[in-house]
Homo-oligomer: A and B are copies of this chain.
Amino acid sequence: MGEVKLIASTESLFCVRIEWALKLKGVEYKYIEEDLRSKSKTVILEYIDETWKENPLLPQDPYQRALARCWAKFVDEKCVFGAWGACIAKGEEKEKAVESALESLAFLEKQIQGKKFFGGEQIGLLDLVAGWIPHWLNVMEEVGGMKLLDAEQFPSLHEWAQNFIHTSLVKECLPPREKLVNYFNASVSYMHSLAANK
């Protein structure tokens, strides 16, 4: 085994037990604090980028790095949850939720215009973070009975999605579509049952 790194949050009662287990085993480890409240879901990607230097995920320039991180946060906080919100919304809330999801995608459309990847000529951090769009969003659309990534409304984002998903390393890791459909159908039913019991 190489060096063990524990990415954890000091406040989490689910993390501390892992630390105890490593100590019990006498395993040396490096503790890396992640503030769960900041919802920084890119921390593992940044860690990977710092550990292995080939194919850099973030730009060299500090300003460009900050921008890429900012967009990654936008995708996680607005686009992912926007699409999910539209997927589970029902009745009169549906239209509003779909509109809100479309607004977020419009920002991404502007961002990708004239570029092959968000990272430029190569796949970068933001491509990975937005990488759920070609596969997962399509499933959310089916399960939620709505269209979000329309090729006419978002031509550049649609083209990027096709480029990205046909990259061989991306294709290799995609879960079967049918499995995702079942998973999202079950999740949506669960969310609706929670709302019904309120």
Contacts and interface: CB of A to CB of B under 8 A. Distances in A.
**Interface size grouping (class) on chain A:** 35 or more
Given A1-B51, A2-B1, A18-B48, A132 B13 contact: yes
Given A23-B172, A48-B21, A175-B11, A16 B132 contact: yes
Nearest to A8: B173
A30 interface: no
B41 A14 contact: yes
A129 B23 contact: no
A128 interface: yes
A62 interface: no
A16 B169 CA distance: 11
A132 B10 CA distance: 12
A85 to B, nearest CB: 14
Given A2-B2, A123-B24, A17 B131 contact: yes
B22 A48 contact: yes
A4 to B, nearest CB: 8
